[in-house]
Amino acid sequence: MSTETNSKSESNLEKVLKSGQFAFTGELGPPRGTDAEEVREKSKFLKGHVDSVNITDNQTAVVRMSSWAASLIAIQEGLEPNYQMVCRDRNRLAMQADILGGSALGIRNMLCLSGDHQQFGDHPDAKGVFDIDSIQLIAMVKQMRDEGKFLSGNDIHQPPKMFIGAASNPFAEPYEWRVHRLAKKIEAGADFIQTQCIYNMDRFREFIRVANEEGLTEQVYILAGVTPMKSVGMARYMKTKVPGMDVPDEIIDRLKGVEKNKVADEGIKIACEQIEEFKEMKGVHGVHLMAIEWEHKVPEIAEQAKVLPRPVFD
């Protein structure tokens, strides 16, 4: 793996992956206000159940507590954050400043994203920044970390330590392009990948098969994205309203096939079956569980998916 040669990020997630164990990461959305308690509450459910927790950055272009601030609260709660950063809201100056600040205060993982277009969010008339794109962001963090240089080429006094993450969506067309894009992200410097929520297993198997064939899964750790469906409505919404999401009818039919009060359990069951398959799948190194506004279910899901206890390193 590329990461074995170049970085000691001090990230727990990195240690888990390098030790060859199946990683399990979670997600936490910061509040739409100043209530730190809300972050602490959600953290309790995640602590001890995941190796690292993604802290979303103005997800779906809706303003929330900044992702680095919520990351720090998560650290106080004993979690390891995976600090998400989108290209939509910051230029290269602000990004580099936040990377330095985050690293100084103990953030060790970053997920580099383009970000949903501002048109989706609560400030649709905002000016989208997109000074650099997600691939350029990955390359910038790598340069800062490995060469100790800002994008401008100037030296950084005490470079940041980061385990660099990127996203991948195997379900967006053109499909053949998705593996090339993965290769580009690896070349740019991604250490690990978290994929879009997977529902279409056939398509995902095919994606991983090609990635294996091209040798990409030996150069980067891949965490398969899993989001349990809470309801039939949610499944329908994901299918029709969320760009780049591929929800096969079988999933919806399966949810519809159980009693109303059992739908959420069925959603979790489907997710756990997927996780079982990912554990065995060559080229998949872990699972990223996005239990959106369902943090309190994480202990139960982790239990049911048999990913506990999580490894501990000194």
Partner 1 sequence: MIVANRKPFAEIKEMLQGYHKVLNVGCGTCVSVCLTGGEKEVAVLNIELEMARRLDDDPIDIYAHTIERQCDREYLAELDSLIENEKFDALLSMACGVGIQFLAERYPHIPTFPAVDTSGLAVNQAVGWYEERCRSCSQCVLGFTGGICPITMCAKGLLNGPCGGTNKGSCEISNEQPCAWFRIYDRLSGQSRLDAIKKINVTRGWKDQAPRNLIQPGYKKPEKMAK
Chain residues binding partner 1 by CB under 8 A are: 87-88, 92, 114-117, 119-120, 128, 130-136, 139-140, 151, 167-169, 172-174, 177, 180-181, 183-184, 187-188, 196, 243-244
The strand pair at 221-226 and 163-168 is best described as unpaired
- In the block, tokens 């067309």 appear at 173
Token pair of 6 as six digits:
């170049």
* Three state DSSP letters for 115-144: CCCHHHCCCCCCCCCCCCCHHHHHHHHHHH
Token digits for 75?
């650290």
Measured from the CB atom, is 88 or 230 closer to partner 1? 88
**Tell me, what amino acid is at 248?**
P
Other Cβ atoms closer than 10 A to 95: 23
- Please say which residue, 188 or 247, places its beta carbon nearer to partner 1: 188
Nearer Cβ to partner 1, position 34 or 154? 154
Compute the least distance from the CB of residue 37 to partner 1, in Å. 33
Which of 263, 278, 178, 176 has the alpha carbon at shortest distance from 226? 278
For residues 48 and 148, which CB has a smaller minimum distance to partner 1 in the complex? 148
Give the count of beta carbons closer than 10 Å to the beta carbon of residue 273.
12
Strand residue runs (E) in 100-211: 109-113, 163-168, 192-197
Between 10 and 133, CB nearer to partner 1: 133
Q: Find the shortest distance in angstroms from Cβ 153 to partner 1.
A: 12
AA letter at 102: G
Please state the closest distance from residue 114 (CB atom) to partner 1, in A: 5
Residue type, position 60, single letter: T
Q: In this structure, are residues 231 and 255 in contact, taking their beta carbons and an 8 Å threshold?
A: yes
Residue 125 or 280 with smaller CB distance to partner 1: 125
Q: How far is the CB of 139 from partner 1 (least distance, A)?
A: 7
Residue 208 to residues 16, 193, 211, Cα–Cα distance (Å):
21, 12, 5
CB of 138 to partner 1, least distance (A): 9
> Which residue's CB is nearer to partner 1, number 47 or number 88?
88
Q: Rounded CA gap, 312 and 198, in Å?
A: 28
- Residue 179 beta carbon to partner 1: minimum distance, rounded to whole angstroms: 11
